[in-house]
Structure 1
């Protein structure tokens, strides 16, 4: 009889709720805090509600990871009707979520494997969906973890932010880089690499930054039969719609959807972000 394996992730994976349900993925929310009020990411506060609120609030929100207790509760519940749990979470360089999950693992009896995705947003979501499909097919945990390492190496995650201010305030990018970008009106193209948000290229205009995103996508995808991913945006649907149209003209075989960036990541990058996140092989 096949092993019943539960897949767990966190809310920064940008998985639409229906998709998580369809794939039997349990999503543990991070929290967005506006003043005294804490919201569970994606449950008490949707992405569109968050960006609307962000534009009117005077004080910038903060974020917090799930507690060890949140993970203990989820792992204990899932192990009642599953043989094992596989948790795949936001990069340990960007959040303490992995550490909280690992601490919880030590407090719960049962087989629990924790994977640091090294990624965030749909770059994490792609790995979670891959794991869920393999789990449904009865694949063992070790094989899934090996496959996830392969997938990580094939994921492209590039994004153009409207302003470096949010990344600077959140300590996700050096203050010097942020000041420089503002002074010179530079539009940086950022990427996820080595578990962190890194500079990919600096260009002078938003259009050039987007062209660079498209060029990189085409380079990575043109000779590949499988190209799957998302155009991810923060309160920039028109831009995302146009970007999707452009990349499908260039790479017709790509299966790309449009997703709004979840609130927790939105706190750190702000509105106006456009990102291409994809797995090509």
Structure 2
């Protein structure tokens, strides 16, 4: 049985996953002023980070449309594929609804899956789906496997500054100002399609160790059977510190690396550190 795995660009996935021949990423649209860019097609991550740093206005993102999904679904159904489509959280974007509407107008051989997560959290489901597809499971078995890991998916992230979250309305202005003045770095846990503040660390020096502390605590200090993904933006030196900390303190089934895409960094800024895990 031929399976095509489709995800939207709210799912931040490692290059080795994106490059698999049966995987296709459908891009959201990034809007800078009067210009529109297809995420990671018309604009690279590096170009996006630079524009984000120099722009006076915060970019906007637009969901994947019904038409985009319909075209992709039609193409692969005509080629005899069964389709599994994985999207970012329905509560955070209309992309899941677009995919569902396109599925209903296309074929029964399409399964649309809401990750109830974003970025690396959504990416965990894409990674897991690849493992299950490569075990020659059928689409129903793959979807069941994705449902089975929902309780294990964890995503933690630390933005380099609260300015972007403040501008996007994701944190109160007063909290953002105080946090920046005191050099307090908040640790957010993405849970049920919502970013929740679960910890703080003063300054940048201890972010890597605190992220590792926290994800270990969330998993009873045992990650041996987990898939770990580390993410960052244009702050490569911070990423290197987190990578070193992970390699030193975490034993996991797989450890993968990726970068925050434009859809996520529009809200967090280009300096972001994140870590996620799942079964």
TM-score (norm 1): 0.89
Deviation readout 1:203-249 (Å, 9 max, x if unpaired) = 44334444321112333274343232222112111110111011211
Determine the structure 1 residue equivalent to 2:20: 22
- Unaligned regions of 5+ residues in structure 1, if any? none
Determine the structure 1 residue equivalent to 2:245: 246
Deviation readout 1:88-142 (Å, 9 max, x if unpaired) = 1001122111011112122223422111001111221221122123224331222
- Unaligned regions of 5+ residues in structure 2, if any? none
Aligned 8 A contact 1:91 1:196 in 2: no
How far did 1:58 drift? Answer: 2.4
Corresponding pairs, count: 278
Q: Report the CA distance shift for 1:245/1:23 in structure 2 as closer, same or farther (over 3 A).
A: farther
Q: Counterparts in 2 of 1:136-215, with a 5 A limit?
A: 136-175=134-173, 177-179=175-177, 181-182=179-180, 185-215=183-213
Q: Report the CA distance shift for 1:106/1:272 in structure 2 as closer, same or farther (over 3 A).
A: same
TM-score (norm 2): 0.90
Aligned 8 A contact 1:240 1:258 in 2: no
Deviation readout 1:62-104 (Å, 9 max, x if unpaired) = 1111111001101111101234211110011221110111121
Quick one: which of 108, 111, 114 aligns to 1:113? Answer: 111
**Distance in 2, Cα, partners of 1:117 & 1:42:** 21
**Distance in 2, Cα, partners of 1:89 & 1:203:** 31
Quick one: which of 33, 44, 68 aligns to 1:70? Answer: 68
How far did 1:255 drift? Answer: 3.4
How far did 1:201 drift? Answer: 1.6
Tell me the secondary structure at the aligned position of residue 206 of structure 1: coil
Q: Report the CA distance shift for 1:190/1:23 in structure 2 as closer, same or farther (over 3 A).
A: farther
**Distance in 2, Cα, partners of 1:172 & 1:107:** 35
Deviation readout 1:144-172 (Å, 9 max, x if unpaired) = 22211222221221111122222233234
Quick one: which of 34, 57, 60 aligns to 1:59? Answer: 57
How far did 1:53 drift? Answer: 1.6
Deviation readout 1:237-264 (Å, 9 max, x if unpaired) = 1110111011211124463233221111
Q: Which runs of 4+ in 1 moved over 6 A?
A: none
Determine the structure 2 residue equivalent to 1:270: 269
Determine the structure 1 residue equivalent to 2:101: 103
Q: Report the CA distance shift for 1:230/1:136 in structure 2 as closer, same or farther (over 3 A).
A: closer
**Distance in 1, Cα, partners of 2:202 & 2:228:** 27
Q: Report the CA distance shift for 1:194/1:176 in structure 2 as closer, same or farther (over 3 A).
A: farther
Aligned 8 A contact 2:209 2:245 in 1: no
> Which has the higher mean CA deviation after the structures are superposed, 250-259 or 147-156?
250-259
Determine the structure 1 residue equivalent to 2:226: 227
**Distance in 2, Cα, partners of 1:16 & 1:48:** 16
**Distance in 2, Cα, partners of 1:24 & 1:86:** 10
**Distance in 1, Cα, partners of 2:253 & 2:146:** 21
